[in-house]
Amino acid sequence: MDNPSGPAPATDSHLPPGLRTPLRDDAFARSDDDKIAAISGHFEAIMRELGLDLTDDSLAGTPRRVAKMYVKEWFKGLDPANRPEVRMFDNRYDYHQLLVERDITLFSCCEHHFVPIVGKAHVAYLPGEHVVGLSKLNRVVQYYARRPQVQERLTRQIAEELKQSLGTDDVAVLIEADHLCVMSRGVNDTSSSTLTSEYGGRFATDEALRREFLRQIGK
Ligand SMILES: Nc1nc2c(ncn2[C@@H]2O[C@H](COP(=O)(O)OP(=O)(O)OP(=O)(O)O)[C@@H](O)[C@H]2O)c(=O)[nH]1
Ligand SMILES: [Zn+2]
């Protein structure tokens, strides 16, 4: 292991222990470039083991392409440097009704099989003295999605981050997603999908509010 004495990962230190993505203490001791080089070598070994000819010009670049995709795209949400800054504005408009950001594109990766989870996230909150820049809601979803995940943890991580960043418990998150591990292998079920939700603050206690949220996202 290179540099196991590197800094402890700051990833998820703001979340309760049960909601943190399991990471080693030396998770960020190596640079992205070093990780890409190492993963590229490991993936090349997998391809060789499968019998693929890596001198073929279509396959030759695949190990590096996969490594770059893992580090820079699929799993970039592991790196606390990519955690979005959630900017809030004064609620000058005095808007205190439900705000729903629906149909947020969700692309994640099943941590059991390393295949895609594809779906939509719907998030809502009740503004108090501040309102959030809308795109930050999408960014929070994307940050936690871009990791090896299970849908339950992803749902709760997004809700907890929103509670902290927006400064209110009045937050709702609902995720509907298709798991490629269910669709393309194992049970090979292409019609089922998975819904998970987390309701905080008034969403947990006020059934009418919850119903309004569900109505607005078409549920
Ligand atoms: N709770 C939960 N389970 C998930 C998620 N993604 C995948 N899984 C499940 O994780 C389980 C892993 O179970 P195993 O029995 O070890 O894996 P497996 O032999 O590949 O299971 P099958 O998919 O049934 O073939 C499977 O049932 C998957 O459907 C998720 O986001 N949440
Ligand atoms: Zn899976």
Q: Does residue 132 surpass a pLDDT of 50?
A: yes
Q: What is the best residue among 110, 112, 150, 190 to mutate for testing ligand 1's pocket, by most ligand atoms within 8 Å of CB?
A: 112
pLDDT, residue 194, reads 98
Q: What is the per-residue pLDDT across 156-210, written as a single tens digit (0 to 9) for each?
A: 999 999 999 999 999 999 999 999 999 999 999 999 999 999 999 999 999 999 9
The pTM (predicted TM-score) of the whole model is 0.95
pLDDT-derived band at 11, boundaries 50, 70, 90: confident
Flag the least confident range among 10-24, 51-65, 195-209: 10-24
Cβ of 152 closer than 6 Å to ligand 1, yes or no, is yes
For Cα atoms 18, 21, 22, give the angle at the middle one, nearest 5 degrees.
90
ipTM of the complex: 0.95
Closest-approaching ligand to the CA atom of 113: 2
pLDDT number for residue 8 = 57
Distance 46 CA to ligand 2 centre (A): 19
Ligand 1 close to Cβ of residue 151 (< 6 A): yes
High-pLDDT (> 90) share of the chain, %: 95
Ligand 1 neighbour 153 (Cβ under 6 A): no
Question: What is the average pLDDT value for the chain, to the nearest integer?
Answer: 95
Average pLDDT over residues 113-135: 97
With bands split at pLDDT 50, 70 and 90, how would you rate the model's confidence at 65?
Answer: very high
- Of 14, 113, 164, 212, the active-site residue reads 113
Q: Is 110 annotated as a binding residue?
A: yes
Say if residue 113 carries a ligand binding annotation. Answer: yes
Active site residue 179: yes
